[in-house]
């Protein structure tokens, strides 16, 4: 799943489709990448200091229901009326839940149409006779689609639960031609500063800041220019301050925007996420100054978490709907290369995503299939041939990939690699002349098949394979492997054990049971049973491009490693190219809130790049048995052009975790140059020559 959605063409739609995949950590990752790119320094939400950091913090951790009311550009009018009285907002003519209900004949000749849950969703109508009614309705309907909610761009929580409404306001020519826009920064109900936006409707907009006493503040906000001469103090300035502070009283921060038309004051909007938390201050000390005024409240989380039972029920419903849809679907098979654009059939697909738990008394999480439904438009023909998505679709859902495995061609796999690579790596992978690390791993996934791939990557079968090569004392003892959860005798298991899938999404399908007496066995069985669905395999989730599909899915139960005083085992991941360890990633306190990762070269020097997640710039302490781990890794990797071998270091004892042939596939390197530097470490030219000769 791509983490760099912000800045893409249709970011709101992508975030909306991800749904519950947008966990707190994923949101922090996405926001952090945008923050670094736009603001210019690393975002710290664990100890926020600056104004922009605190704006980001409130998006994730301050879910005051009143913010929903005041962010809604239609509902806020009632709050304004109750707080400061009538006459401070542009009068509403009418509102509708559906644009088809708009009676344009009943509207005046001039008016403004708006949608309530984002900025910029407005249509100024100066002359109704020139308005295309059908085109206007289409535009409004587009703005009211669920994925157009402002929340799904930069996670501005205040808009998340707003109900979409289209409403018409009176057209006030004085506001439309207004030169100045007054924006008051209020902290705990007190105005500390304001800026005046001049010529806001033009490309020459300027921002000029003043303190509460209207003294000029010498900095820029958001890379804008200053006006020359500076804008004058508004005639109703004191009244604006009074009104702003009344409206802002319940909130730790809100920006209150006004227009001044003669002696009249009109509210523009109340903004809780000024600039989205992404507008840089220059010089940056003003970001810290505004941050000092911004006193964060206690965390307030009002969104209900997703619980297991509701997820299980939703999953069952989704599977039933999928089965019914497939039955109907088989009556009209799809042909990939001969189709008519006039006829469509809709197929519901169950998409896999993780559901997190707090009650397994361990520090890891479990995965579960299903729940989120998506629809794909498929071309309908009467020819009973292979059924595939129409050409514009880049990837088959896992369930469909499982059903269609024999029909997936090499060209389709390459197309998938190119499209997903461009989306996540931000460049098109060159699979004909691979140079980068990601390009070479993709080439190997497509073209290289080693007889031991399946065994070495299968977490059940690999135990003997590894033990024969480096010794069984370095293999975590296996309790059992099962293809049916009902065959597991949980009563006979020790109090502490580990459950994992023999193939899957790395640690996503691992549960550490620290005390069997404190877990619900039926719930545990319900979770791990979903790992046995064949299409939950990493292989089917990646368009069948890898050679790591197990012979059959299994539930693996192994002994729990005693970890002494250190609650979290350190994880050493050695990247082996052509039989040698070239670089490593060390994961400290994995699964905890203090988890960190560091890349080092073979000599234990920190490598200055990062991938997805939190990385440390300081090398961890070098383990005393590092050379022994290097020796074991190179024994295991000698037959493969590339493999990552993971070790756990338990009080000096070494245990092999897993062998991974496509680790972090499609994960971007920052800076990108390291993707190509690491690619130089891996030689696959001899394999490419063999493939060409064959």
* Helices 626-637 + 462-470 axis angle, to 10: 120
CA dist., res. 384 & res. 55, Å (int): 56
Task: Work out the burial of residue 284: count CB atoms within 10 Å of its CB; fewer than 13 is exposed, 13-18 middle, 19 or more buried.
Answer: middle
Residue 177's pLDDT is 61
Tens-digit pLDDT profile for residues 350-404? 233 333 322 222 222 223 333 222 333 333 333 333 333 322 334 556 666 776 6
Residue 216 — very low, low, confident or very high, per pLDDT cuts 50/70/90? very high
Q: Are 389 and 632 in contact (CB under 8 A)?
A: no
Most confident by average pLDDT, 26-30, 393-397, 599-603, 660-664: 599-603
Contact 197, 206 (CB under 8 A): yes
**Rounded distance between C-alpha atoms, residue 458 and residue 255, angstroms:** 55
Give the pLDDT confidence score for residue 17 in this predicted structure: 60
Comparing 53-62, 230-239, 554-563, 619-628, which segment has the lowest mean pLDDT? 554-563
Beta bridge partners of 166: 96, 115
pLDDT at 344: 27
| CA-based radius of gyration for the chain | 29
pLDDT of residue 115: 95
Cβ pair 118, 150 in contact under 8 A: yes
Considering 23-27, 440-444, 458-462, the range whose residues carry the highest mean pLDDT is 440-444
Q: Once rounded to an integer, what is the mean pLDDT over residues 579-584?
A: 97
Digit-coded pLDDT (tens) for 120-153: 899 999 999 999 999 999 999 999 988 888 898 8
- How many angstroms separate the CA atoms of 417 and 400, rounded? 18
The closest alpha carbon to 465, from 587, 586, 645, belongs to: 645
* Residue 455 to residue 644: CA distance in whole angstroms: 15
Whether residue 680 has pLDDT greater than 50 = yes
Long-range contacts formed by 642-645: CB under 8 A, 24+ apart: 642/440, 642/441, 642/444, 642/575, 642/576, 642/577, 642/578, 642/682, 642/684, 643/456, 643/576, 644/573, 644/574, 644/575, 644/576, 645/573, 645/574, 645/576
Is the Cβ–Cβ distance between 240 and 248 less than 8 Å?
Answer: no
Distance CA 629, CA 161 (A): 52
Pairing of strands 253-261, 180-187: antiparallel
Answer whether 244's CB lies under 8 Å from 258's CB: yes
What is the reported pLDDT for 598? 93
Q: How far apart are CA 366 and CA 357, in angstroms?
A: 7
Residue 350, CA distances (Å) to 164, 321, 503, 533, 620 in order: 27, 9, 20, 12, 42
Which residue matches tokens 């508004």?
234
Residue 543: CB atoms within 10 A of its CB come to: 21
Q: In this predicted structure, what is the pLDDT of residue 518?
A: 78
Residues 335-342: contacts with CB under 8 Å, at least 24 apart: 335/379, 335/381, 335/383, 335/385, 335/386, 335/387, 336/386, 336/388, 336/390, 336/391, 338/381, 338/383, 339/379, 339/381, 339/390, 340/379, 340/380, 340/381, 341/379
Residue 119: the pLDDT is 82
Domain 434-447+567-694: CATH class, spelled out: alpha beta
Between 520 and 4, the more confident residue is 520
Vertex 346: Cα angle to 343 and 351 (nearest 5): 150
77 has pLDDT over 60: yes
The pLDDT tens digits of the residues spanning 271-304 come to 999 999 999 999 999 999 999 999 999 999 887 6
Share of residues in the chain with pLDDT > 70 (%): 79
Continuous H helices in 572-684: 626-637, 673-679
Query: What pLDDT is stored for residue 411 in this prediction?
Result: 79
Q: What phi and psi values does residue 508 have, to the nearest 5 degrees?
A: -60, -30
pLDDT, average across residues 217-227: 92
Domain ranges of the chain: 91-171, 434-447+567-694
Q: What is the pTM of this model?
A: 0.48
**Minimum mean pLDDT range among 173-177, 515-519, 571-575, 577-581:** 173-177
Question: What does the mean pLDDT of the chain come to?
Answer: 81
185, 311, 314, 359, 540 from 307: Cα distances, Å:
39, 6, 11, 11, 27
């Amino acid at each position: 799943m791509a983490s760099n959605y912000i800045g893409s063409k249709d970011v709101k739609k992508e975030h909306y489709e991800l749904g519950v995949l947008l966990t707190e950590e994923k949101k922090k990752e996405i926001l952090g990448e945008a923050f670094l790119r736009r603001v210019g320094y690393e975002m710290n939400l664990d100890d926020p200091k600056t104004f922009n950091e605190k704006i980001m913090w409130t998006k994730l951790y301050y879910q005051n229901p009143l913010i929903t009311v005041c962010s809604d550009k239609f509902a806020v009018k009632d709050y304004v009326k109750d707080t400061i009285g009538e006459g401070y907002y542009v009068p509403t003519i009418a509102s509708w839940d559906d644009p088809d209900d708009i009676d344009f004949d009943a509207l005046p000749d001039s008016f403004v149409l708006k949608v309530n849950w984002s900025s910029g969703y407005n249509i100024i109508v100066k002359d109704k006779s020139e308005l295309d009614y059908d085109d206007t309705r289409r535009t409004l309907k587009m703005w009211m689609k669920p994925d157009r909610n402002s929340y799904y761009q930069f996670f501005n929580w205040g808009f998340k639960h707003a109900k979409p409404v289209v409403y018409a306001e009176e057209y006030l020519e004085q506001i439309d031609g207004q030169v100045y826009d007054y924006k008051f920064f209020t902290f705990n109900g007190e105005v500390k500063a304001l800026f005046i936006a001049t010529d806001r409707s033009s490309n020459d907009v300027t921002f000029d800041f003043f303190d509460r006493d209207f003294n000029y503040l010498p900095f820029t906000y958001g890379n804008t220019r200053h006006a020359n001469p500076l804008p004058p103090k508004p005639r109703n300035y004191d009244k604006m301050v009074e009104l702003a502070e009344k409206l802002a009283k319940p909130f730790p921060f809100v920006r209150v925007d006004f227009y001044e038309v003669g002696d009249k004051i009109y509210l523009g909007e109340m903004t809780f996420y000024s600039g989205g938390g992404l507008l840089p201050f220059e010089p940056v000390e003003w970001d810290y100054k505004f941050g000092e005024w911004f006193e964060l409240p206690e965390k307030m989380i009002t969104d209900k978490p997703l619980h297991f039972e509701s997820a299980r029920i939703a999953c069952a419903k989704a599977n039933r709907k999928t089965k019914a849809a497939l039955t109907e679907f088989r009556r009209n098979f799809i042909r990939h290369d001969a189709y008519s654009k006039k006829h469509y059939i809709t197929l519901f697909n169950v998409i896999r995503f993780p559901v997190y738990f707090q009650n397994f008394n361990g520090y890891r999480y479990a995965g579960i299939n299903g729940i989120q439904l998506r629809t794909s438009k498929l071309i309908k023909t009467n020819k009973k041939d292979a059924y595939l998505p129409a050409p514009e679709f880049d990837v088959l859902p896992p369930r469909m990939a499982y059903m269609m495995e024999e029909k997936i061609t090499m060209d389709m796999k390459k197309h998938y690699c190119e499209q997903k690579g461009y989306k996540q790596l931000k460049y098109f992978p060159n699979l004909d002349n691979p140079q980068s690390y990601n390009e070479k791993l993709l080439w190997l996934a497509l073209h290289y098949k080693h007889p031991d791939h399946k065994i070495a990557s299968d977490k059940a079968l690999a135990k003997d394979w590894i033990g024969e090569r480096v010794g069984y004392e370095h293999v975590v003892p296996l309790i059992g492997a099962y293809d049916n959860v009902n065959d597991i005798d949980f009563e006979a298991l020790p109090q502490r054990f580990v459950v994992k899938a023999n193939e899957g999404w790395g640690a996503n399908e691992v549960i550490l049971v620290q005390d069997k007496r404190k877990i619900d066995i039926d719930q545990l069985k319900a979770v791990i049973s979903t790992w046995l669905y064949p299409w939950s395999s990493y292989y089917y989730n990646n368009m069948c491009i890898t050679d790591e599909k197990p012979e059959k899915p299994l539930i693996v139960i192994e002994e729990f490693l005693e970890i002494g005083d250190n609650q979290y085992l350190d994880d050493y991941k050695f990247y082996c190219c052509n039989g040698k360890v070239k670089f490593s990633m060390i994961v400290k306190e994995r699964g905890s809130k203090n988890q960190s990762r560091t890349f080092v070269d073979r000599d234990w020097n920190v490598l200055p790049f990062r991938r997805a997640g939190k990385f440390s710039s300081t090398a961890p302490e070098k383990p005393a048995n590092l050379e022994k781990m290097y020796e074991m890794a190179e024994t295991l990797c000698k037959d493969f052009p590339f493999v990552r071998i993971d070790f756990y270091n338990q009080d000096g004892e070494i245990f092999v975790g897993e062998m991974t042939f496509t680790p972090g596939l499609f994960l971007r390197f920052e800076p990108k140059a390291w993707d190509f530097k690491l690619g130089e470490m891996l030689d696959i030219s001899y394999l490419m020559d063999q493939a060409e000769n064959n």
